[in-house]
Amino acid sequence: MVDPTPIPVAETALAVTGLTVSYAALPVVEGINARFPKGTMTAIIGPNGAGKSTLLKAALGLVPAVAGEVRAFGQPVAKAMPRIAYVPQRAAVDWEFPARVIDVVQMGLYRKTGLLGRMTPALKAQAVDCLARLGMADFAQRQIGALSGGQQQRVFLARALAQEADLMILDEPFAGVDAATESAIITVLHALRAEGKTVIAVHHDLATVSAYFDRVLLLNRRVIAEGPTTTTFRRATVAEAYGNTLLTSIPA
Amino acid sequence: MTFGAEFVPLTLPPLVIAVLAALACAAPGNFLLLRGQSMLGDAMSHVVLPGIVTAFLLTGSAAQPVMLAGALAAAAVSSALIEGIRRATGADPGAAMGVTFTAMFALGVLLLETSGAGAVHLDVEHALYGNLEGLIWIDATGWASLADPAALATLPPELPALAIATAAILGALALFWRPLTIATFDEGFANSAGIPTRWISAGVTGLTALAAVAAFSAVGSILTIAMLICPPATARLLTDSLPRQMALSLAIAALSAALGTVIAGYLPLALGLGFSVSASGSIAVLSGIFLGLAATIGPRRRRLAAAP
Amino acid sequence: MTADLLQALLFQGGYNAALVSLGAALLGLAAGAVGAFTTLRRRALTSDAMAHATLPGIGLAFLAMAAFGGDGRNLAGLLIGAGLTAALGLYWLQRLTDTTRLPEDAATGAILSTFYGAGIVILTVIQNLSLGRPAGLEGFLLGSTAGMLKSDAILIAAGGAVILALLLILRRALAMTAFDPGHARLMGINTRAADMALLLLTLACVLLGLRVVGLILIVALLITPALTARLWSDRIGVVALLAGGIGAFAGHLGASLSLVLPDLPTGPAIVLITFTAFLLSVLFAPGRGLIARALTRARQAALVRA
């Protein structure tokens, strides 16, 4: 087992210790130890079936874990939830739902409005601003189903931005989106990191790992390696995670 | 009076009719269940009423074939409406069905109440609970009547009609068993294997409609829905094999129907009450109790653990 | 007859008649608005099972009240019984879908038919017991405003108002749960509680609708206005308001019609009015209506040719 990089707890946004998740008695991820320092941007990479999405969902308490502990900002995740935003791989929603783009983004403000609080002009402006940061301000009045897949992905990221979370967790934010969307998303994520926020994303495109992320977590049911991209994202470790050596684009 | 002298004319015909209706409904119900269309049976049993009333108003005839044609036409109209509403509004199938069958049933009730179609010998209550108890065999005098052609000729006309329909439904399912199972399991593969899945789908709807129509006039909409859904659902919790599920569902349906008729007729009397209760209702309750038992102790009641 | 109808519509048909059609309108408003959420949460047919599961409760409540020497037809008492068996039906529906492999629609149909069958058995018992006068419970199948008491109308109107107030409070949580339950949970919404609240609001609409629309067709008052309103707006708040408006209109008109034509069953009348509104909207709604879509297609085709 690889030791987690030793980082003082106070600087850790998310700490996963001994996390094991099973579906039907088969462990999907086993004994995961990982530390995600504040203000960093980590890519979780690994082959299909490595348990990347499962790791995220279990860390957020969306699927039950068999064993292990997850703490965010030093607290149990359930308590720290108001500081965490999550963007699923592709939102499983009814695309015919009577909701406009701006209504969806405003849902990200629920913790501020609560059950009865008024959607004030300031909050409305904040929602519009989140859309604008992803270049979607012009689409505010569209029905959510009337957008392309990439545009929908940007709206769901805008909803997460509206939460003003300190930890942003994304499951394959770039899967199946066009180049314009990809560059809009990465710009926003880098801006978040610059503000001191923490970003964790499952990522598939090995060619862009070094450009986009400063840290990587290589996963194949167990943690293969974890650390800064420059030292950890190496041909040998990636090959170990993917089980082959045809990875010539990656530095040795 | 001997047991047979009372049982054969008063209880045997309803019992046989109930069993036939139960078999006719439970058999296609297995495929509805696996295709995620169980509520289609609910919809079909409601749209039969406007079909029958309209057929009577148009032709002035209350003959069985006319009623059957009217009901089948209404079933076809309603399945087209359901599909049309889904396409036009993007509504989920349940909601599209709900809109359609409530409107058609409401239309049937209004036509019945306002047009003086009382001559159909049909009222709304009859449509809901059926008239199983009324289907008696007046000329029967005892078990011997079963071998007496003159007496057999006076059997309630619903009985032979239902027997033919049940045989037709079971025969069609047996004949098309293989393409039906393939198309139900994997529509995409069935298409690539040259199975006309659209026709299979229409066929399942048609058989359901036929079962609903044939059962309706004898046992009412309530029993039709119960038999389309409960016995297949019960069998589904008992086995993983489709042929066994089919066989079990037919056995459970027949058992519910026979036992329910007898209980409705004799249990209140045995309790010292001077009347009997609705046979259709008792059969429906009994089939629900069987399902409850299977849901509690059935060997295959659990879902396979979901894969990630 | 036209004059009588006009009187009834304008609440001029006498105090009692005015109360009945006001009650029906408030019921339609509440059911339409709640139904918008029920339909979006894909619980349309659950409400049908719920409605059918009220029948044994109505029968048992009648027997209980008659056995204790009271008036078996007391609406509040009947509704309590109806609510109890409907809740039992919901509990079993939940158990079937949670603990067995049965798909939800099959479980729904099974509960619907079993409870309804039990209700019919109990109704035949009531018919056969000589309890003096006829029970008049058949009115609960297809609805009837004939012989409705002033207190019944007040109960329905007040219940409708309470449902609307609760819906107003819960609208945001219900909308988020219906749109994206996973995200709603992450935002701190107890989605189980929200779903339960929605089911209870739906049940309340079903119970209030039993007397006016009847248990067979009440589901139409929850679904049809919602689908109709959806054709006119992309905003859930507007959809709920519109659905409520359509329900109120249909409730009011249907109840007024049946006051003028006592033979007309109220439930089917109300259902056919909402269905007419639905058909008209399918054709004429801007944007999503069939005609509007055909025009758009034609215009696009013309652009391509040009």
The domains located in chain B, with CATH, are 3-128+156-297 (1.10.3470.10)
Size of interface A-C (CB pairs under 8 A): 67
Of A85, A111, A115, the CB nearest to C169: A115
What digits encode the pLDDT tens for the residues A31-41? 999 999 999 99
Whether the per-residue pLDDT at A1 is higher than 60: the answer is no
Whole-number pLDDT of residue B293: 95
In a domain, A252, yes or no: no
In a domain, A250, yes or no: no
In a domain, A31, yes or no: yes
What digits encode the pLDDT tens for the residues B158-195? 788 889 999 999 999 999 898 888 888 877 777 777 78
- 8 A C-beta contact, residue C31 and residue C228: no
Could you please state the CATH topology (level 3) that the domain comprising C2-305 is classified under. Answer: ABC transporter involved in vitamin B12 uptake, BtuC (1.10.3470)
Whether the per-residue pLDDT at A145 is higher than 50: the answer is yes
Annotate A31-93 with DSSP letters as a single string: EEEEEEETT-EEEEE--TTSSHHHHHHHHTTSS--SEEEEEETTEEHHHHGGGEEEE-SS---
- 8 A C-beta contact, residue A88 and residue A57: no
Q: State whether residue B301 sits within 8 Å of chain C by CB.
A: yes
- A144-158, B4-18, B114-128, C221-235: segment of lowest average pLDDT: B114-128
Show the domain range for A124: 9-242
Of B90, B92, B308, the CB nearest to A28: B308
User: ipTM score here?
Assistant: 0.90
Q: What is the mean pLDDT of residues A221-238?
A: 86
Q: State whether residue C67 sits within 8 Å of chain B by CB.
A: no
Q: Tell me the pLDDT band of C51, cut-offs 50, 70 and 90.
A: very high
Q: At A85, give phi and psi (nearest 5°).
A: -120, 145
* Contacting residues of A for B306, CB less than 8 Å apart: 23-24
Q: Tell me the pLDDT band of B289, cut-offs 50, 70 and 90.
A: very high
Q: State whether residue B103 sits within 8 Å of chain C by CB.
A: yes
Q: What is the mean pLDDT of residues B21-49?
A: 90
Q: State whether residue C134 sits within 8 Å of chain A by CB.
A: no
- A131-135, B130-134, B255-259, C231-235: segment of lowest average pLDDT: B130-134
* Contacting residues of C for B283, CB less than 8 Å apart: 117
Q: Tell me the pLDDT band of B307, cut-offs 50, 70 and 90.
A: very low
C204 to chain B, closest Cα gap in Å = 19
How far is Cα C248 from Cα C230, in angstroms, rounded to an integer? 16
Residue in this structure with the two tokens 């109209």, named with its chain if needed: B77
Q: How far from B215 is each of A110, B90, B224, C124, CA to CA, in Å?
A: 53, 33, 6, 21
In a domain, A155, yes or no: yes
What digits encode the pLDDT tens for the residues A65-107? 889 999 999 899 888 889 999 998 877 778 888 888 999 999 8
Highest mean pLDDT out of B209-218, C63-72, C243-252: C243-252
Whether the per-residue pLDDT at B308 is higher than 50: the answer is no
For A172, left (φ over 0), alpha (ψ -120 to 50), or beta? left
Chains contacting chain C through 3 or more C-beta pairs under 8 A: A, B
Q: State whether residue C126 sits within 8 Å of chain A by CB.
A: no
Q: What is the mean pLDDT of residues C124-128?
A: 85
Whole-number pLDDT of residue B49: 86
Q: At C184, give phi and psi (nearest 5°).
A: -60, -40
Judged by CB atoms within 8 Å, which residues 113-142 of C form the interface with B? Answer: 113-121, 123-125, 128, 138, 141-142
Report the chain C residue with the minimal C-alpha distance to residue A98. Answer: C234
A163 to chain C, closest Cα gap in Å = 9
User: In this structure, what CATH number is given to the domain that contains residue A183?
Assistant: 3.40.50.300
Q: State whether residue B88 sits within 8 Å of chain A by CB.
A: no
Choice between C275 and B146, residue whose per-residue pLDDT is larger? C275
pTM value is 0.86
Judged by CB atoms within 8 Å, which residues 96-135 of A form the interface with B? Answer: 96
How far is Cα B218 from Cα B52, in angstroms, rounded to an integer? 13
Report the chain C residue with the minimal C-alpha distance to residue B222. Answer: C113
* Contact flag C109-B282 (C-beta cutoff 8 Å): no
Q: What is the mean pLDDT of residues A51-61?
A: 90
Q: What is the mean pLDDT of residues C131-160?
A: 79
Q: Among residues C23, C238, C30, which one has the least CA distance to residue C143?
A: C23
**Domain locations along chain C:** 2-305
Q: Tell me the pLDDT band of A119, cut-offs 50, 70 and 90.
A: confident
* Contacting residues of A for C189, CB less than 8 Å apart: 110
Q: How far from B219 is each of A58, A228, B16, B18, B106, CA to CA, in Å?
A: 52, 73, 12, 7, 20
Whole-number pLDDT of residue A139: 93
Report the chain B residue with the minimal C-alpha distance to residue C270. Answer: B106
The pLDDT mean for chain A works out to 87
Q: At C210, give phi and psi (nearest 5°).
A: -55, -45
Q: At A37, give phi and psi (nearest 5°).
A: -65, 150
What digits encode the pLDDT tens for the residues A5-34? 555 545 789 999 999 998 877 888 889 999
Q: Tell me the pLDDT band of A246, cut-offs 50, 70 and 90.
A: low
Judged by CB atoms within 8 Å, which residues 101-160 of A form the interface with C? Answer: 103-104, 107-108, 110-111, 113, 115-116, 143, 159
* Contact flag C235-A103 (C-beta cutoff 8 Å): yes
Q: Tell me the pLDDT band of C50, cut-offs 50, 70 and 90.
A: very high
* Contact flag C169-A116 (C-beta cutoff 8 Å): yes
Whether the per-residue pLDDT at A3 is higher than 50: the answer is yes
Highest mean pLDDT out of A81-90, C28-37, C134-143: C28-37
Q: State whether residue B304 sits within 8 Å of chain A by CB.
A: yes
Q: Tell me the pLDDT band of C143, cut-offs 50, 70 and 90.
A: confident
Q: State whether residue B228 sits within 8 Å of chain C by CB.
A: yes
* Contact flag B273-C128 (C-beta cutoff 8 Å): yes
Whole-number pLDDT of residue C204: 96
Whole-number pLDDT of residue C86: 96
Whole-number pLDDT of residue A55: 92
In a domain, A32, yes or no: yes
Q: Tell me the pLDDT band of B121, cut-offs 50, 70 and 90.
A: low
In a domain, A248, yes or no: no
Whether the per-residue pLDDT at B117 is higher than 70: the answer is no
Whole-number pLDDT of residue A252: 67
Residue in this structure with the two tokens 């249907």, named with its chain if needed: C254
Q: At C156, give phi and psi (nearest 5°).
A: -65, -45
